[in-house]
Structure 1
Amino acid sequence: MLVLGIETSTPQTSVCIGSEQGLLASAALGRGNAHGEFLTPAIRFCLDAADLPISAVSGVAVSLGPGLFTGMRVGIATAQALAHARRLPVVGLASLDLLAFRARHVRRLVCSVVDARRNELFWAFYRPAPGGLQRVTEFRVGPAGKLAGEIEAVRDDVLCVGDGACAHAPLLESTGAEVGSASVASPDAHALVELSLPRFIREDTQRPEDLRPIYVRKADARISWRNRGALLGGTGKGA
């Protein structure tokens, strides 16, 4: 089964095509917010590199966030459009789960941490489990100091991974936690395909129209609109 993976929740955007036999082709955008300009050429590049027509793709997997508001919306909209046009099943997965998956071989508590902008972070904790990691907390958002307090409270060895962890490494390391390498600091489409394949095989999929971004907090666009309303003398409570 061939799955197209689309990960756009962070500035490190990626696309890949893979199957039960492994990765066939991938493309990545190092840094930046040009998700919309990158996705269509990247998908075409992966198809050409794998020497496959779009009709060979059996399913579309997409990251739902939390992460960059615009990036999540672009990725989900692209996945929905492809799935509708080709009548394909879809699977949506959380970006923090994808990030933790990259650290699945460690035998300690893992904390996935993504930069949430506005001096905040998104995070969740994971424990080793048969076959990988199991999320043991809800998705959370807050300042780095709040995360540091949670790490100190768990009294376990903790590995923090993600761009948010790298950005606040001195603070997190002061709690006794280890901060993972910057080379694996973002969720990627390869992990997305690998994690979604079992769901496609057992037909545990979603309808394209049911995909929803995982915001955790109010979307940046709505917050910006309310701030704009307040600056103009209004309440900022419009729809």
Structure 2
Amino acid sequence: MLILGLDSSAVAGSCALCDIDPENSKNNKIIAGSFINTRQTHSQTLLPMVENMLRCAEIDMKSLDCIAVTSGPGSFTGIRIGVAAVKGLAFALNIPCTGVSTLHALAFNLLGIDCIACAVMDARCSQYYNALFRIRGNIIERITEDRAISNEDLAKELSQYNDNRIILVGDGAELAGKSLNGVQDDEGKPILNGVQTELAPLSLRLQRAESVCLAAPEYKKVSAKELLPVYLRLPQAERERLKREIDNENRSK
């Protein structure tokens, strides 16, 4: 199954082309990929990257069987751009598409490394988008659902895995690595005292479209019309609108 994967969930953006065997992952093959980590907007770079990659791989877009995209969590603007691009391509090609959890895809970066994968993305407002996964060889077991979680709550949860190798992966990994060790309990003791966390190697740390392709068989294929972004909390503009409404209601009382 020829899958085109896209990721635009954070500052970095990527696309990949993979031949995926849903019945036997040992037959999976990464054919081509493209990655960019600049301040250019995904609306400028994403589709040109796809076109250039397919041209270099000498693959006609009509040969695609499915398109997979990180549908969230992540940057609201980035997720919208990625999902919209895939909806347009899938509709034009009349093929199914798949929305993949950004955090689950990050766990696939560490496939083959026995560990607790702590997928973290900076959600701002002193929170992370996060999920935990247990990886044994080529098996990934989800431990938690995708969630927005505070630094303190994540530290408390990771303290339960003191006998495990914990690897931080995602664009929030470096920030989490610095912040988590400073979290203290009510007695002023480090919550992660004795718990070792490590950063994923730089080559595996950020979101990658190859991992989106690898995760795709675990998700339901949908039509272009059915593909939707997944937000763990309201976009900032919507939060500000609701706050104004509440403030206006309070003033009118």
Question: Which TM-score applies when normalising by structure 1?
Answer: 0.86
Match of 2:221 in 1: 205
User: Which has the higher mean CA deviation after the structures are superposed, 4-13 or 176-185?
Assistant: 176-185
Q: Residues of 2 paired with 1:111 and 1:199: CA distance?
A: 19
- The 8 Å contact of residues 103 and 119 in structure 2, kept in 1 or not, is answered as yes
Match of 1:189 in 2: 209
Deviations 1:218-237 (A, max 9, x none): 2233124345x469x7459x
Match of 1:162 in 2: 170
Deviations 1:15-69 (A, max 9, x none): 1122146222222221336011111211111111111222122211111111100
- The 8 Å contact of residues 17 and 30 in structure 2, kept in 1 or not, is answered as yes
Match of 2:186 in 1: none
Match of 1:74 in 2: 81
1:112 is paired with a residue of what secondary structure? strand
Q: Residues of 1 paired with 2:16 and 2:177: CA distance?
A: 30
Q: Residues of 1 paired with 2:33 and 2:137: CA distance?
A: 28
Distance change (3 Å), C-alpha of 1:105 and 1:130: closer
1:210 is paired with a residue of what secondary structure? coil
- The 8 Å contact of residues 166 and 185 in structure 1, kept in 2 or not, is answered as no
- The 8 Å contact of residues 101 and 132 in structure 1, kept in 2 or not, is answered as no
Match of 1:18 in 2: 18
Return the match for 1:222 from 238, 241, 251: 238
Pairwise mapping of residues 1-239 of structure 1 onto structure 2 (< 5 A)?
1-20=1-20, 22-32=29-39, 34-129=41-136, 131-157=138-164, 158-173=166-181, 175=192, 176=195, 177-196=197-216, 198=217, 204-227=220-243, 229=244, 234=248
Deviations 1:157-209 (A, max 9, x none): 2222222121131333562222323332222111111222x469xxx511222
Question: Which TM-score applies when normalising by structure 2?
Answer: 0.81
- The 8 Å contact of residues 33 and 71 in structure 1, kept in 2 or not, is answered as no
Q: Residues of 1 paired with 2:67 and 2:4: CA distance?
A: 5
Q: Residues of 1 paired with 2:163 and 2:248: CA distance?
A: 48
2:148 is paired with a residue of what secondary structure? strand
Distance change (3 Å), C-alpha of 1:91 and 1:143: same
Across the two proteins, how many residue pairs are aligned to each other? 230
Q: Unaligned stretches of 5+ in structure 1?
A: none
Q: Residues of 2 paired with 1:144 and 1:17: CA distance?
A: 35
Q: Unaligned stretches of 5+ in structure 2?
A: 21-27, 183-191
Point out the structure with max Rg over C-alpha.
2
Distance change (3 Å), C-alpha of 1:131 and 1:105: closer
Task: Give 1:138 deviation, angstroms.
Answer: 1.2
- The 8 Å contact of residues 91 and 199 in structure 1, kept in 2 or not, is answered as no
Letter in 2 for 1:48: R
